[in-house]
Chains A and B, each alone.
Chain A
Amino acid sequence: MTTVDYVLRLGDDALVTAQRLGAWYAAGPEMEEDVALANIALDQLGAARLLLTYAGELEGAGRDEDALAYQRGPADFRNCRLVEQPEPDFGVVIAKLLLLSAFQLPCYEALAGAGDERLSAIAGKARKESAYHLDHATLWTLRLGDGTDESHQRMQASFDTLWPFVDGLFAGDDGGPVDPAELRKAWTSTVEDVLGRATLTVPAPVAEPTGERTHLVELLAEMQQLHRAHPGARW
């Protein structure tokens, strides 16, 4: 039996990722990359909508995708902290996408073949998208890691900054058909392979910092402000 929190966790990861990428309009290093980042944002948003809709149905309280996206506070968001981290430069965007898609791909692959029919259908579509995201992040990690001295340093710094949050990818609720903790082996092998080829060092394990999730609070404040200013309105 799949729990609401389990599906929310998957959906919130995708939603918060889309929200971060959505801020990169007209800001990529090349115009071609603007188009690519928008494609990835659209994929994540599409998966988020399907997952939140399913979570709402499992919950049975009449909440649809918008009620779940716009009317929950930060304390009720189930996403891992990796995805809510700010993206001050393109290096962090790519590093985060690599770490996330190296998790989402095996996760959706496993879910596609697991017992929950709804999740299996959603994951069957999403895994093809994740494969593309992983491919995109890999190509860029290689170019930035093994490009110039500056890009190498920036890429290493990006992975170092994000590393405290990678444990969170696997810490989710196991109230669903696939236990995230079991995906760690596949994830590690993908990430170590790409970082190695990119001449980057895999950072040493670091504990996730504790404290307020101010980045998530700010992200949701921006995302939800208009919707919340007009209670009950249709858009």
Chain B
Amino acid sequence: MYGNDFAGPDAGSDGGLLGQVEAAEAALRAAAHRGRVEGDPAALQDYFDAVIDADQKIEPRDWMPDAYRRGLVRQIAQHAHSEIIGMQPEGSWITRAPSLKRKAILLAKVQDEAGHGLYLYAAAETLGITRAELVDMLLDGRQKYSSIFNYPTLTWADIGAIGWLVDGAAIVNQVPLCRCSYGPYARAMIRICKEESFHQRQGYEILHTLSHGTPEQHAMAQDAVDRWWYPSLAMFGPPDTDSTHSAQSMAWKIKRFSNDDLRQRFVDMCVQQAGVLGLRIPDPDLRWNSERQAHDFTAPDFDELMRVIKGDGPCNAERMAHRRRAHSDGAWVREAAAAYAAKQEEVVAV
């Protein structure tokens, strides 16, 4: 599951998500230029609080509460694992993409996911944990990744639905993280969000083309939206009433909006976009509520979410097996590279 928090809708220069990323980057620079926060760094907790109050960033070697460090490691690692595991459902369509243009786009997108996983592991490592430890925790199940990647990609239209809905939900979750109080995470998220701006659009374009293509293609697109809608809503996490980490995360400016607020925002964005696609959102109770100025909608099945997180989703075993296989198949390569590096150092030493 991705973290969540986002800037107000008016924060961006163009009101769009990319505009919000740019606004977050400008805010980061502006806060940095306001000069050092008043206070005595030796008064650890007070100084930490003062930096956060001033909307400046906590940096790797600063003192920070243990729970802040642990919470960030958990969240960033989970995010990194999600990028790495998230390569699999889409990656399996690279060899089958129906045109060379689509093949190139999908390759570049899956490659970005590997890159984004790496940016995030790098950010997590600044908190005093190694990537090797994080990967071990992924492989032995101590750390989780987003449950969304435990659903299968049955048809090409799933590549479109993942781009539109899954990346769309991820962006709504991620854009606010560009303002996270931990510097390395905020900077990694700014870079990731800028690069990801094409991911959602390519998915939307795939669905639009299919929806306006042959009747079989249209049906394929509708089927994919039907299957990915509720799992995408579940990406925002449990309802606020059950959310465990929220209050402290908000105080520390790791998170600024609740799971339910973000989910609502996502639904409101999707309704208009589905209309343009000519596809139906599979929720008979979806309708505009003029009193709330928002759409009423059916919540995802949170029991299912919990089951999938605990390992009982359609593809959990397959995803982990793939990751473990890549890791163990590559062991001889990593050993060889280390042995070669050691030999070269001996040569230099002589």
Within 8 A of B (CB), among A200-235: 222-223, 225-227, 230, 232-235
CB of B103 closer than 8 Å to a CB of A = yes
Q: Which residues of A contact B337 (CB under 8 A)?
A: 143-144, 147
Picked from A26, A45, A46, the residue with its CB within 8 Å of the CB of B114 is: A26
Chain A residues within 8 Å of B335, by CB:
147-148, 150-151
In the assembly, what is the distance between CA of A45 and CA of B108, in Å? 11
CB contact list, A1-55 vs B, under 8 A: 15, 18-19, 22-23, 25-35, 38-39, 41-42, 45-46, 48-49, 52
Contacts of A70 in B (CB 8 A): 98-99
Per the 8 Å Cβ criterion, residues 40-77 of A in contact with B are: 41-42, 45-46, 48-49, 52, 65-66, 69-70
Tell me, yes or no, whether A136 is within 8 Å of chain B by CB. no
Kindly provide the distance from the CB of B214 to the nearest chain A CB, expressed in whole angstroms.
Answer: 5
- The answer to whether A65 and B107 have CB atoms under 8 Å apart is no
Q: Is the CB of B111 within 8 A of A146?
A: no
Q: Which of B104, B110, B323 is A45 in contact with, Cβ under 8 Å?
A: B104
Number of A-B contacts (CB under 8 A): 145
Answer yes or no: A89 CB below 8 A from chain B CBs: yes
Q: What's the Cα separation between A140 and B94 when bound, in Å?
A: 25
Minimum CB distance partner of A91 in chain B: B333
A142 on interface, CB distance cutoff 8 Å: yes
CA–CA, A22 to B97, complex, Å? 11
Contact status A25-B100, CB under 8 Å: no
Contact A147 B336 (CB under 8 A): yes
A30–B334 contact, CB under 8 A?
A: yes
Given A31-B114, A230-B216, A48:B336 Cβ within 8 A: no
Known: A27-B326, A147-B336, A151-B332. A235 touches B214 (CB 8 A): no
User: Is A154's beta carbon under 8 Å from chain B?
Assistant: yes
Q: How far is the CB of A125 from chain B (nearest CB, A)?
A: 15
- Could you show 11 A-B contacts with beta carbons less than 8 Å apart? A25-B88, A25-B110, A26-B88, A35-B118, A70-B99, A147-B339, A151-B335, A223-B96, A233-B213, A234-B209, A235-B98
Say how far A15's CB is from chain B's closest CB, in angstroms.
8
Q: Are A42 and B111 in contact (CB under 8 A)?
A: yes
Name the contact of B104 in the complex, choosing from A28, A49, A226 (C-beta under 8 A): A49
The residue in A15, A25, A48, A49 that gathers the most chain B C-beta atoms within 10 A of its C-beta is A25
B76 to chain A: closest CB distance in Å?
A: 15
Q: Which 5 A-B pairs have the closest CB atoms?
A: A147-B336, A29-B330, A151-B336, A25-B91, A38-B111
User: Interface size of B by Cβ–Cβ distance < 8 Å?
Assistant: 49
- Whole-angstrom CA separation of A59 from B203 in the bound complex: 34
Interface of B is mostly: helix
Tell me whether B152 is interfacial, beta carbon within 8 Å.
Answer: no
**B330 touching A23 by the CB < 8 A rule?**
no
Are A230 and B336 within 8 A (Cβ)? Answer: no
User: B224: CB under 8 A from chain A?
Assistant: no
Does B117 count as interface, using CB distance less than 8 angstroms? yes
Q: Which residues of B contact A223 (CB under 8 A)?
A: 95-96
Would A226 and B96 count as touching, CB distance under 8 A?
yes
Q: Are A26 and B326 in contact (CB under 8 A)?
A: yes
A90 interfacial contact with B, CB 8 Å: yes
Known: A25-B110, A226-B156. Contact between A90 and B100, CB under 8 A?
no
Q: Are A35 and B111 in contact (CB-based, < 8 A)?
A: yes
Interface core residue of B101, B111, B343 (most chain A CB under 10 Å): B111
> Which residues of chain A have C-beta atoms less than 8 A from B206's C-beta?
235
In A102-148, the 8 Å CB interface with B consists of: 142-144, 146-148
- Nearest Cβ distance between residue B158 and chain A, in whole angstroms? 12
A interface footprint on B102-120 (CB within 8 Å = 1, 0 otherwise)? 1110011011001101100
Find out whether the CB atom of B100 lies under 8 angstroms from the CB atom of A48: yes
- Judge whether B87 and A25 touch: CB under 8 Å: yes
A195 to chain B, nearest CB (A): 15
A90 close to B329 (CB less than 8 A): yes
